[in-house]
Structure 1
Amino acid sequence: MKNFLSRLSPANTPTGPASNRREFMQKASLGGLALGMMLDGRTEQELEFITQKVPRDSKPSELKITDMRVAILSGVPFTSPIIRIDTNQGLVGWGEVRDGASANYALMLKSRLLGKNPCNVEQLFKLIKPFGNHGRAAGGVCGVEMALWDLAGKAYNVPAYQLLGGKYRDFVRLYADTPEGKNYDEFAQNMSKRRDAGYSFLKMDFGIGMIADQKDMLVGAKQWSVKQPYNANEPGKIGNYAMTRHPFTRIQITKKGLDRLVEHVGRVREIVGYETPLAADHFGHFDVNTAIQVGKAMEPFRLAWLEDLVPWFYTDQWKQISDAIETPTLTGEDIYLKEEFIKLIDARAVDMIHPDLASSGGLLETKKIGDYAEEAGIPMAMHFAGSPISMMANVHCAAATENFVALEHHGVDVAGWEDIVTGLKPIADKGYVRVPEAPGLGVNLNEEVAKRYLKKDNTWFAPTDVWNTRDSWDREWS
């Protein structure tokens, strides 16, 4: 201990028995040192007290996953299972299963992750990616991947974007859904609120649902629950409208119906103005011919894009639509992994891609998707509808991807949304998110606030030991 003290003393200060230990303790600014001196002769305990406030970097090579649990939040704006991955070094990684997906998509992966080093993100991703699929079925793989990057960033004390190769931008632009109103006056008020909040990119919904109950607007719509698409049991209907792929409903729009949609979009454009990009989504389930009719009718309004006119997997139909209209086309929020995006890009079937990072494969896979599109000259917007945990995963990926355009923010009107996490306030500021410089995703779950959103009849990060044991052989080849 005497040698240790001598190293701390100035060169001209006596270090022998004559040095005044009490004076040294008064001058030293080592938190806990005075208490440590009370433990003379017990070197390990002295050093523990002396260094108790000294920051310790993680030992990445020795980091191991010890547990994974979930807490299901509701109303953020939808249902979002939050993933917590624990490690042997006390580091915690946060991830999120996509909105509306089962937490079990993530929990089933736990037995394949226990004991593994979370810093080997791509290796672990390849291990678990066979258990994901398109749409919400990808939620578990992607949520775990987010948490792994959070852990790796914390272990190496760098933000996630740095691990993806660095950033192209310091601020990530957001696009906000247009809030609906009972009438156009109310809609105009809502739009004013969006502009006052600084949002410079907006999106609206319009489609055949808004005219399905009006005379002579649609052909063949009465046999479907167009106004209540998720009601599969309405009497007199021929099937589940929401679950029937677009071309198979055989619904068509009349000239009168098309004129009504044109009137609606025109009035919205007048409210928004032409300086603000305005995208459009949720048109309804109809075939490629009707999609082209709608697209051509909307050309005077210079919309930023028309989204998901037909299901993403109809590559030839997307190309047919894109070639026929001038308004940009866009799809991709339900596509899992880069391979299906590559098909759309190589076929020049769409003008833009629109991955949801919580379905497309997580941070690294989505960056790979964006990079491939960038080489083909195709921009990337990003779909998102979850909590701030998933948003920050998107922000890091968007910062690291050159052809990024804008990220959706679906929780603008959720009271207390930003308080669900700590580490970045405000999150959305004048329509942008500042890319965080803190390690990992840059935020941590604010458990006190997040508990207010806990889904009814669910337990807060309950033990998940039932998922600890791997009970299948996973190899896909012989």
Structure 2
Amino acid sequence: MKITEIKTAEATGHGFSTFVKILTDEGVTGVGECIHGGDGCSRLIENMAEMIKGENPLDVDRLWELIRRRYIFNGALAGNVVTAMTGIEIALWDLAGKALNVPVYRLLGGKFRDKIRLYCDCHAGRDELPESYAKRAKEIVAMGFDAIKFDIDDAKSPYKLDAFNWSITPGELQQMVDRVSAVREAVGPNVDLAIDMHGRYDIFAAVRVAQALEPFNLMWLEEPVPPENIDAMREVKRSTKTPICTGENLYTRWGFKDLIEKQAVDVIMPDLPKCCGLSEGRKIANLAEMYYIPMAPHNVCGPLGTIASSHCCASVPNFLVLEWHWVDRPHWHELVLADPPLIEDGYITLPDGPGLGVELNEEAVAKYARSDRPLF
């Protein structure tokens, strides 16, 4: 079997996703999804396609490494080059599973679990009042989720004095505490609650927030400081009982190596359709497992990328929970052909069909496609 062509399409969602379709001389195809690759992602994939045409698509890891090495001086350490490679890699796994008539998780070594637990990213309340956050939390728990996440960084806060300074005022801190307190009171002690700060604060501010939130028994506090300074993140972790989480903006196992070895966080969250793909995601998880650190992947993809991440999550022992970010986008379920609903009571049941186990709905992709981009 040989790769004959690789095509792309882009559809709106959380920003937009890039879909990758790989065709072969035997008629077997594979489809993947990657995200946050920017406007140049499709062009990068077109260039990478020329490197692997004529190759055997079952050599997934070899082809990923072939592309990575050829781009080593052109951005292969991080950023949209890795994201483009990721879209190809996920499509290759889908194709390999179909060719061998097995689900992707079987090719990754089998599964530790049949269902993948999700947490719902609730974003924020409908307005900035604590009561609005509490109402939103109750709505999401009523949908069946027992793990939720809220954003508390607020660039428009009336208590913020300087748009560029990363410190925090007493008013901002109290506003954050009031919102988290309202959510915890609304959902009770048995719902896991994560809080995101989007890496917008300095060490002093992060420590103050993390310590102030200790009474609320968080699942984690996400990116309280920018992720590129691992030592700074470790300082925050060491200062508090609140678990600290980061990883959505790190790429490949090399990007996670120091973070894990320095034990700078309590939870890692690689974004698998953005930062590495499924095989590399397993390697990151296995490295974290050596330090007893759980993996809770970041995920803002549509259903195809989410299912791809689920196969990886099923294949590692230290999986904690997977993000679902589309609660306000009703077309999520339209984008694949599968027996609905994919999500029931806050879980995805892992598909057992060949490849990823779901097929991209190209009519829906066309419906939500970026108007200035070709569709496959």
Would you say same fold, with TM above 0.5?
yes
Q: Distance in 1 between matches of 2:63 and 2:300?
A: 25
Conserved 8 A contact 2:122-2:325 = no
Question: How far is 1:325 from its partner?
Answer: 0.9
Question: How far is 1:195 from its partner?
Answer: 1.5
Which residue is 2:144 aligned to?
198
Q: Distance in 1 between matches of 2:198 and 2:323?
A: 18
Question: How far is 1:261 from its partner?
Answer: 1.9
Which residue is 1:149 aligned to?
93
- Spell out the pairing of 1:323-334 with structure 2 (5 A cutoff): 323-334=238-249
Matching of residue 439 in structure 1 with residue 337 in structure 2: no
Specify the SS of the correspondent of 1:144: helix
Q: Counterpart of 1:167 in structure 2: which amino acid?
A: K
Question: How far is 1:135 from its partner?
Answer: 3.9
Higher relative contact order (CA closer than 8 Å, sequence separation 6+): 2
Which residue is 1:449 aligned to?
364
Q: Which of 64, 75, 82 does residue 2 from structure 2 map onto?
A: 64
Please report the RMSD computed on the Cα atoms of aligned residues, expressed in angstroms: 1.7
Conserved 8 A contact 1:328-1:351 = yes
Conserved 8 A contact 1:209-1:283 = no
- When residues 415 and 350 of structure 1 are mapped into structure 2, their CA distance, relative to the original with a 3 A threshold, is same
Q: Distance in 2 between matches of 1:345 and 1:450?
A: 38
Q: Distance in 1 between matches of 2:275 and 2:151?
A: 23
Q: Distance in 2 between matches of 1:192 and 1:321?
A: 30
Question: How far is 1:186 from its partner?
Answer: 4.4
String of CA shifts for 1:350-395, please: whole Å, max 9, x gaps: 1111100023310011011101111211111000111111111101
Q: Distance in 2 between matches of 1:260 and 1:413?
A: 24
Which residue is 1:207 aligned to?
153
Q: Distance in 1 between matches of 2:139 and 2:194?
A: 18
Q: Counterpart of 1:154 in structure 2: which amino acid?
A: K
- When residues 196 and 129 of structure 1 are mapped into structure 2, their CA distance, relative to the original with a 3 A threshold, is same
Q: Which of 427, 430, 435 does residue 345 from structure 2 map onto?
A: 430
Q: Distance in 2 between matches of 1:141 and 1:100?
A: 10
Q: Counterpart of 1:304 in structure 2: which amino acid?
A: M
Q: Which of 8, 14, 17 does residue 80 from structure 1 map onto?
A: 17
Q: Distance in 1 between matches of 2:21 and 2:255?
A: 30
- When residues 457 and 435 of structure 1 are mapped into structure 2, their CA distance, relative to the original with a 3 A threshold, is same
Q: Distance in 2 between matches of 1:366 and 1:424?
A: 27
Specify the SS of the correspondent of 2:296: strand
- Spell out the pairing of 1:218-233 with structure 2 (5 A cutoff): 218=161, 221=162, 224=163
- When residues 421 and 251 of structure 1 are mapped into structure 2, their CA distance, relative to the original with a 3 A threshold, is closer
Q: Distance in 1 between matches of 2:114 and 2:233?
A: 34
Which residue is 2:166 aligned to?
251
- When residues 200 and 136 of structure 1 are mapped into structure 2, their CA distance, relative to the original with a 3 A threshold, is farther
Q: Distance in 1 between matches of 2:310 and 2:214?
A: 31
String of CA shifts for 1:64-113, please: whole Å, max 9, x gaps: 11111111101x23201111111111111101121353322322211111
436-445 vs 285-294, greater mean Cα deviation:
285-294
Which residue is 1:171 aligned to?
115
String of CA shifts for 1:400-440, please: whole Å, max 9, x gaps: 01100111011122113112111342211110000110011
Question: How far is 1:254 from its partner?
Answer: 2.5
Q: Which of 15, 30, 36 does residue 93 from structure 1 map onto?
A: 30
- Spell out the pairing of 1:76-475 with structure 2 (5 A cutoff): 76-99=13-36, 101=38, 102-130=41-69, 131=71, 132-179=76-123, 180-182=125-127, 183-211=129-157, 213-214=158-159, 217-218=160-161, 221=162, 224=163, 249-283=164-198, 285-461=200-376
Question: How far is 1:283 from its partner?
Answer: 4.9
Q: Distance in 1 between matches of 2:240 and 2:308?
A: 34
Conserved 8 A contact 1:354-1:381 = yes
String of CA shifts for 1:254-277, please: whole Å, max 9, x gaps: 333322321222112212222101
Q: Distance in 2 between matches of 1:329 and 1:398?
A: 20
Specify the SS of the correspondent of 2:343: coil
Q: Distance in 2 between matches of 1:408 and 1:106?
A: 26
Q: Counterpart of 2:85 in structure 1: which amino acid?
A: V
Q: Distance in 2 between matches of 1:192 and 1:434?
A: 24
Q: Distance in 1 between matches of 2:232 and 2:356?
A: 38
Aligned residues, how many? 367
Conserved 8 A contact 1:172-1:395 = yes
Conserved 8 A contact 1:78-1:386 = no
Question: How far is 1:284 from its partner?
Answer: 5.5
Question: How far is 1:458 from its partner?
Answer: 2.4
Q: Distance in 2 between matches of 1:317 and 1:387?
A: 33
Greater gyration radius: 1
Q: Distance in 1 between matches of 2:267 and 2:98?
A: 33
Q: Distance in 2 between matches of 1:283 and 1:80?
A: 21
Q: Distance in 2 between matches of 1:65 and 1:152?
A: 12
Structure 1's consecutive aligned runs of 4 or more residues displaced over 4 angstroms after TM superposition are: 183-186
Q: Counterpart of 2:112 in structure 1: which amino acid?
A: Y
Conserved 8 A contact 1:107-1:140 = no
- When residues 160 and 71 of structure 1 are mapped into structure 2, their CA distance, relative to the original with a 3 A threshold, is same
Gaps of 5+ in 1: 1-62, 225-248, 462-478
String of CA shifts for 1:157-212, please: whole Å, max 9, x gaps: 0000000100000000001011531245544443233112211110000024252x
Q: Distance in 2 between matches of 1:399 and 1:378?
A: 16
Percent pairwise identity: 37
